[in-house]
Structure 1
């Protein structure tokens, strides 16, 4: 490797509203003496640029989608059409659409890596970004690795080709590894279990957690994209039920929809208005990491009612801050939260169970204190952002050695 401490780092549409994890991992790589060279597919919409580090991140990022049709026409004949047509035969014509979109970006990635002496690219996606890295490799560029953050069905067609040529992959849960082994048994590179992580030095309390006091409103905080699968509508319904039963509860939800406020946010606004909760439920929009931390430290409870969640950095951030946390027994969340130990788990799509869990924490201060303490200890041990960076660097050097 011409520059053994330089790593290509490819994240789609970076920096997005949920991308604080990547920024922390970049910092952890730098602390290890590795220089991450940032690549992305395209810039995020203006309404999703929320972090105080977003401008600095964009200034450092090369956007591979900004390429010419002339380059695409030059690259297409040089792609491995036999393999790609076999993928299309299995997965349908959508494979060919992805090929057309990604071909020129693959050559652009190869050229940038050649100029900067990069012999390995880590891709935090198994969607089109992974196909771009695979094309760069085919065209004579660097090898690549992948991180799988969710079910393979979320990442589009052509997966066999993307995985078959990767040097290694990190996967965030045991559940996802089992699914991959069942679905692509003959096409997998070495896979390493490595959950996402958080900055435990930054996400911590300076003062002890204080449960809700008699006569005080229970302050509930949620953080996640405004999308139906995040279950914010179920959390709003749980708050409605508690208030209808005479319990004083307030809720703040941080996050934005993928349309910058013109999508699912409108549905939630109508729901809040319908239940006359305007004085008790607030949609904060996309807010930066410092604001998320401030609200976590003010909250009595963090709750995220996802219908499906591969693992959940938002849960980790709340637990790291010592906030009693309620999650759903969906996806990989039970690998992070052991019910009654690091937090409470309820079924997805169950507002009544969610309301009961909120009330349980409000009425049992000893439980709230215990969840605050045991949860924080688990995050420190198993979910520090530096652990993911260490695995990427170790596996990269092993592959190149």
Structure 2
């Protein structure tokens, strides 16, 4: 692909435990004949490196995060204060600090893109990585674009500055898109697309039929999400206790790790398992590979994630693609993915009772479980295929059409 266009692809702390959806998009771009040059701020903590492709990804990734005083000085001299002055005056020293931290990485990104002929960088972040892409552009480097993966307030200062100079942006849900005018005003880029990150429906497919739960066999439940209080794992454990108290033989496996590589919120969940006397019925699997996630999905009767708020939920998509009947929470952008009673079930967050009832409903109604599983896969194929995001980036970042010979 030496004569093919090259796209810069910037992801913070790549490859982390939740980054499988980035890798899928990268592979989709490469199937289209596009060279993808990977950049990241720094590697993730060792305990969060879990995928079989992680070593390959790290070898391919240029890390920009090491502070280089020479590059920082060069970047500071190369960017006019007029670029950021009004934003710093409005937002204060926090933004000024972020700009200073990002400056050396921006100079390094600009130099690397120039050497490799990269004319555009897509930043899969609206946090500090977006500042790196912005400053690199202002230093004479490539144009850039952004993806918003969650509430804008989660991504730090300087949002108007980051968005004002972007060639285009993608947002993963309609809900997030509707919030932007009030938050960004005139600083929105001309082109903003609603495009969720998707899954590879050809990889996440069953090679054995789904068999609904039949009593008296054990009811197998799978959940996948980082170990954080907002993911609601503690609520799911409480629901498992309620099911056990009703005499239901149930097993819950939770894939994912906390952001400290196992020394953070995991400890609280371990204590909660003991308090609920669920040591023989709930397992924390840690950060596992995509292949292991698929294996657990194919053996599960039900998938659920009890998030308090969730921008959208790639883990839901993976389960639905594998035809596993899926229970989500009516929070954030999840209702844009799961339509209650049509291709999954929705319950209110922070409600172990409602979650237990929904699980029991699927366990006791095998035909409904099978119907929802099949409808879930159809939903993912039609709306949440990773090829769609790759096609959009190719079109808008590189001015290519999918039908073109690349």
Q: TM-score, normalised by structure 2?
A: 0.96
1:182 Cα deviation from its structure 2 partner: 2.2
* 1:137-216 matched pairs, under 5 angstroms: 137-189=137-189, 190-216=191-217
Work out whether residues 120 and 398 of structure 2, in 8 Å CA contact, stay in contact via their aligned partners in 1.
no
Alignment partner of 1:186: what SS?
helix
For the residue of structure 1 that corresponds to 2:131, the secondary structure is helix
Unaligned runs of 5+ in 1: none
On the 8 A contact 1:256/1:285 being kept in 2, the answer is yes
In structure 1, the partner of 2:90 is 90
- Residue 399 (structure 1) shift: 9.3
Tell me the CA shift for residue 139 of structure 1.
0.2
Q: How does 1:114-153 map to 2 (within 5 A)?
A: 114-153=114-153
Shift of 1:81: 2.4
> Quick check: 1:369 aligned with 2:370?
yes
Whole-angstrom distance in 2 between the partners of 1:13 and 1:142: 21
Equivalent residue number for residue 224 of structure 2: 223
Q: Distance in 2 between matches of 1:261 and 1:69?
A: 34
SS of residue matched to 2:84: helix
How far is the alpha carbon of 1:237 from its aligned partner? 0.7
Q: What are the ranges of 5 or more consecutive residues in structure 2 without an aligned counterpart?
A: 402-406
Query: 3-state SS of the aligned residue for 1:242?
Result: helix
Deviation of the 1:398 alpha carbon: 3.3
TM-score by length of 1: 0.97
Map residues 2-401 of structure 1 onto 2, 5 A cutoff: 5-189=5-189, 190-398=191-399
Q: Deviations over 1:247-267 (max 9, x none)?
A: 111100000000000000000
* 1:356 positional shift: 0.7
Q: Structure 1 segments of 4 or more deviating over 4 A?
A: none
The C-alpha deviation readout for 1:26-61, integer Å capped at 9, x for no partner, is 110000010010000001110000000000000000
What is the CA distance between 1:152 and its match in structure 2? 0.3
Alpha-carbon shift at residue 272 of structure 1 (Å): 0.2
- Hey, what's the Cα distance between the residues in 2 that align with 1:182 and 1:3? 43
Q: How far 1:217 sits from its partner (Å)?
A: 1.4
- Alpha-carbon distance between aligned partners in 2 of 1:167 and 1:73, rounded to the nearest angstrom: 26
Q: In 1, distance between residues paired with 2:193 and 2:253?
A: 36
| Secondary structure of residue in 2 paired with 1:118 | coil
1:167 and 1:399 in contact (8 A); partners too = no
Counterpart of 1:185 in 2: which secondary structure?
helix
Q: In 1, are the aligned partners of 2:25 and 2:386 still within 8 Å (CA)?
A: yes
The answer as to whether partners of 1:337 and 1:344 remain within 8 angstroms in 2 is: yes
- What is the distance in 2 between the residues matched to 1:389 and 1:204? 20
For each residue in 1:158-191, what CA deviation from the matched residue of structure 2 results, as whole angstroms up to 9, or x when unmatched? Answer: 0011000000011111111101122112011110
